[in-house]
Amino acid sequence: MKKNHEDVKRFITFVNAVVNKPGMFNVNNIEDLHLILFGYSSGLGSSIGPCENLSEMLSAFRVFINNEFETKGDYDWPRVIRFYSAGDQHSIELFKLKFDQFLSTY
């Protein structure tokens, strides 16, 4: 269990690194960000077995985004953020804002 908690902390550190310097990771929009985070979480899960805490956190983030934007369905977080963003750069900024809000309540 402790290992999974450390993985979540490393994941959050990675997310912050990417959103603070997206050009360094060749991330131009929310879709690029989603792909890099999906790859990171998938790689982590396959190398050590299922990472339940990280999966739970990402699932809770999806629910949080749907609640924040009062969607009528259960949509993936990149789709919702893209819909409410004013462009590529804003989609990353909006993600960062919402992810920080999510972490303060998670």
- The 10s digit of each residue's pLDDT in 71-88 is 999 999 999 999 999 999
Please give the residue range of the domain that contains residue 47. 2-105
Which of the pair, 60 or 44, is modelled with greater confidence?
A: 60
| pLDDT on residue 17 | 97
Nearest-angstrom CA–CA distance, 42 and 50: 9
Is pLDDT at 1 greater than 90 in this prediction? no
Residue 45's pLDDT is what? 65
pLDDT, greater one: 11 or 49: 11
What's the CA gap between 24 and 77, in Å, rounded? 23
Q: How many domains does the chain have?
A: 1
